[in-house]
């Protein structure tokens, strides 16, 4: 029927029918050509060669890749990926302005490491033999694990939103800024635990920071605290950290070994000592001395790189774990009696930010070559919605990261009102991860922290928990089923 109509139309109006047929044909041809060109453009847009060579392009979710040197050395450089990655090169794009008379001309530029750019096949630099690696470039092309560790463990200046005119009309108190190095060690049976904190507050007008060193020693359920405090210059701290000196106590990073030297006095609780805005109940000396040396050995790749959470009006909180699990050594001398620490397992993290109204949940466990760390932070509701800040859980092995998830729940089974939780249940799920962890509390130490408040305004105490984890599930290609001792932290209303 359609063919008959077409033939009659052609017979009665041949010119009009021919023009119409040519128009339809031309339109179809143009559409086919545009689709072909579009497909080529799309394919080229996805080609890493357009961005400087290579087969895979790695970008950050919200801009530049954070901690790219750690990614190169400890992730892509791990045994799992090393044989599968021919070459990897960092690059950064920016805009420069060429001033011609009074007229600025924007120029899009890209920088990279010469030797690595050639290795990934960047044709733009292949014919530029004069472009060679500088000393700073070699820190990327051949990263020193100790320098990567030191860069992760640096201290931070007070953000602009944390002081001066920038604070006008804001609720963030610059006095709530604090940054600290935290170390812990535990024996295999959990009967001996040591916690060491090197904590600094915000800088004053003379660019000095009040600093506190505190050691908490738990032996067979009995807890003792030792401390020392002093004002230290901010500039050397920002330049040399994690190396720092406070009142005869010091931290030194020697290669991949942290060395702590301690000279502390035993405490008795009082109100309003050093940094009362951060820790509500510290101590004054009551006699008794603790001296000693502690070492903690880091393993390349067994770190959690820096992560920062930002909120309204410049609020920020940061966290990094340079040592997820490492061997502890050294000796403490307490009132003339030695206490050997050799054979204990250690951990080290680093925190910074504004802490008024902030609380958190955290835990860590290690078994054989595995290290697991999890946590969640609850910011003040006027800077960020606490219910929308996800938790995290990371699993690392001897060869580097195995799996990571932000789909994490942490549920606490409470005892009596204000008491330490009897049990914590942690669940993490992701593409490469499905883990359940149950923590049974065996020891608990409570510390007052003046700035931390519950949603109803009640004062909270900081709880450090020791106990045992039961872990089951899957991380990457590994099936997990083990029991090990570990640590946890949380908050409870003050009793």
Does 335 reside within a domain? yes
The Cα–Cα gap between 258 and 246 comes to 16
Q: Give the single-character DSSP code of 275.
A: S
Tell me, rounded to whole angstroms, the distance of Cα 386 from its chain centroid: 18
Of 188-197, 336-345, 417-426, where does the model show the most confidence?
A: 336-345
**Same domain (yes/no): 104, 183:** no
Tens digits of residue pLDDT in 201-258: 999 888 899 999 999 998 887 888 899 999 999 999 999 999 999 999 999 999 999 9
Q: What does the pLDDT average to over 278-292?
A: 61
**pLDDT grade for 276, boundaries at 50, 70 and 90:** very low
Contact 17, 10 (CB under 8 A): yes
Predicted local distance difference test score (pLDDT) of residue 416? 55
Residue in the block written with tokens 């090197």: 198
Does 444 reside within a domain? yes
**pLDDT grade for 57, boundaries at 50, 70 and 90:** confident
**Degrees (nearest 5) of the Cα angle 372, 195, 155?**
80
Statement: residue 271 has pLDDT above 50: no
Q: Which residue has the higher pLDDT, 85 or 478?
A: 478
The Cα–Cα gap between 191 and 206 comes to 44
Q: What does the pLDDT average to over 112-122?
A: 81
Cα dihedral 138, 141, 144, 145, rounded to 10, equals 150
Does 33 reside within a domain? no
Contact 192, 206 (CB under 8 A): no
Predicted local distance difference test score (pLDDT) of residue 268? 57
**pLDDT grade for 267, boundaries at 50, 70 and 90:** confident
Last residue of one domain, picked from the residues 355, 383, 404: 355
Contact 278, 178 (CB under 8 A): yes
**Distances 6 to 10, 14, 22, 43 between C-alpha atoms, Å:** 6, 10, 14, 41
**Same domain (yes/no): 207, 331:** yes
Q: Which residue has the higher pLDDT, 300 or 354?
A: 354
Does 27 reside within a domain? no
**pLDDT grade for 10, boundaries at 50, 70 and 90:** low
Statement: residue 188 has pLDDT above 60: yes
CATH number at residue 300: 2.40.370.10
Helix orientation angle between 2-12 and 14-45, rounded to the nearest 10 degrees: 120
Last residue of one domain, picked from the residues 355, 387, 420: 355
User: What pTM was computed for the model?
Assistant: 0.76
Q: Which residue has the higher pLDDT, 17 or 148?
A: 148
Tens digits of residue pLDDT in 355-403: 888 889 999 988 888 889 999 998 888 888 888 888 999 888 876 778 8
Residue 394 belongs to what domain range? 357-495
**Same domain (yes/no): 120, 244:** no
Residue in the block written with tokens 């689709």: 35
**Same domain (yes/no): 185, 317:** yes
**Same domain (yes/no): 77, 195:** no
**Ramachandran class of 287: left when φ > 0, alpha when ψ lies in -120 to 50, beta otherwise:** left
The Cα–Cα gap between 371 and 324 comes to 6
Q: Which two tokens stand for residue 491?
A: 């908050």
Predicted local distance difference test score (pLDDT) of residue 435? 95
Residue in the block written with tokens 């070699």: 138
Does 316 reside within a domain? yes
Predicted local distance difference test score (pLDDT) of residue 284? 43
**pLDDT grade for 418, boundaries at 50, 70 and 90:** low
Statement: residue 145 has pLDDT above 60: yes
Last residue of one domain, picked from the residues 294, 324, 355: 355
**Same domain (yes/no): 435, 487:** yes
**Same domain (yes/no): 326, 179:** yes
Does 38 reside within a domain? no
**Same domain (yes/no): 223, 292:** yes
Which SS3 state, helix, strand or coil, does residue 241 take?
coil
Does 240 reside within a domain? yes
**Same domain (yes/no): 348, 402:** no
Predicted local distance difference test score (pLDDT) of residue 9? 65
Predicted local distance difference test score (pLDDT) of residue 167? 41
Q: What does the pLDDT average to over 102-119?
A: 84
Predicted local distance difference test score (pLDDT) of residue 113? 84
**Same domain (yes/no): 100, 196:** no
Residue in the block written with tokens 């949380």: 490
**Same domain (yes/no): 464, 320:** no
Contact 345, 369 (CB under 8 A): no
In total, how many domains does the chain have?
3
Predicted local distance difference test score (pLDDT) of residue 320? 92
The Cα–Cα gap between 450 and 493 comes to 12
Statement: residue 49 has pLDDT above 60: no
Does 2 reside within a domain? no
Tens digits of residue pLDDT in 429-487: 988 899 999 999 988 888 776 666 655 666 788 888 888 999 999 998 889 999 998 88
**pLDDT grade for 27, boundaries at 50, 70 and 90:** confident
**Distances 273 to 100, 226, 279, 474 between C-alpha atoms, Å:** 60, 14, 9, 47
User: What burial class does residue 204 get, using C-beta atoms within 10 Å of its C-beta: 0-12 exposed, 13-18 middle, 19+ buried?
Assistant: exposed
**pLDDT grade for 270, boundaries at 50, 70 and 90:** very low
Reference 296, options 320, 261, 246; nearest CA is: 261
**Same domain (yes/no): 387, 242:** no
Predicted local distance difference test score (pLDDT) of residue 41? 60
């Amino acid at each position: 029927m359609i063919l008959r109509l077409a033939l009659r139309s052609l017979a009665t109006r041949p010119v009009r029918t021919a023009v119409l047929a040519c128009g339809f044909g031309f339109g179809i041809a143009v559409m086919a050509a545009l689709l072909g060109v579009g497909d080529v453009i799309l394919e080229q847009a996805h080609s890493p060669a357009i961005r400087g060579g290579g087969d895979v392009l790695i970008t950050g979710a919200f801009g530049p890749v954070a901690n790219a040197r750690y990614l190169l050395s400890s992730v892509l450089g791990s045994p799992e990926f090393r044989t599968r990655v021919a070459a990897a090169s960092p690059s950064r794009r920016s805009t420069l302005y060429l001033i011609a008379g009074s007229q600025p001309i924007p120029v899009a530029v890209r920088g990279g490491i010469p030797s690595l750019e050639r290795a990934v096949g960047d044709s733009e630099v292949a014919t530029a033999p004069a472009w060679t690696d500088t000393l700073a470039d070699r820190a990327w092309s051949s990263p020193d694990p100790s320098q990567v560790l030191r860069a992760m463990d640096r201290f931070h200046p007070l953000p602009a939103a944390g002081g001066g005119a920038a604070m006008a009309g804001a609720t963030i108190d610059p006095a709530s800024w604090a940054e600290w190095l935290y170390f812990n060690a535990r024996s295999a049976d959990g009967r001996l635990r040591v916690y060491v904190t090197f904590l600094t507050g915000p800088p004053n007008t003379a660019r000095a920071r009040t600093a506190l060193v505190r050691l908490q020693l738990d032996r067979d359920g009995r807890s003792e605290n030792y401390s020392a405090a002093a004002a230290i210059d901010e500039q050397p701290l920002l330049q040399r950290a994690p190396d720092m000196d406070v009142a005869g106590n010091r931290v030194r990073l020697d290669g991949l070994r942290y060395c702590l030297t301690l000279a502390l006095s035993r405490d008795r609780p009082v109100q309003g000592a050093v940094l009362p805005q951060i820790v509500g109940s510290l101590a004054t000396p009551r006699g008794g001395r603790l001296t000693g040396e502690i070492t903690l050995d880091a393993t390349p790749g067994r770190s959690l790189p820096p992560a920062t959470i930002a909120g309204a009006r410049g609020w920020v909180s940061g966290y990094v774990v340079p040592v997820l699990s490492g061997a502890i050594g050294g000796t403490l001398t307490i009132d003339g009696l030695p206490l050997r620490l050799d054979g204990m397992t250690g951990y080290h993290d680093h925190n910074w930010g504004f802490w008024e109204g902030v609380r958190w949940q955290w835990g860590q466990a290690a078994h054989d070559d595995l290290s697991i760390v999890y946590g969640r932070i609850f910011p003040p509701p006027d800077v960020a919605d606490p219910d929308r800040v996800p938790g995290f859980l990371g699993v690392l092995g001897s060869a580097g990261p195995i799996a990571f998830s932000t789909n994490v729940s942490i549920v606490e089974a409470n005892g009596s009102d204000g008491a330490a939780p009897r049990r914590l249940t942690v669940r993490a799920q992701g593409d490469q991860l499905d883990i359940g962890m149950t923590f049974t509390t065996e020891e608990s130490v409570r510390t007052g922290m003046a700035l931390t408040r519950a949603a109803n305004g009640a004062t909270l105490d900081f709880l450090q928990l020791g106990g045992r984890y039961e872990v089951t599930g899957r991380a990457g290609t590994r099936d997990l089923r083990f029991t090990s001792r570990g640590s946890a932290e949380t908050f409870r209303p003050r009793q």
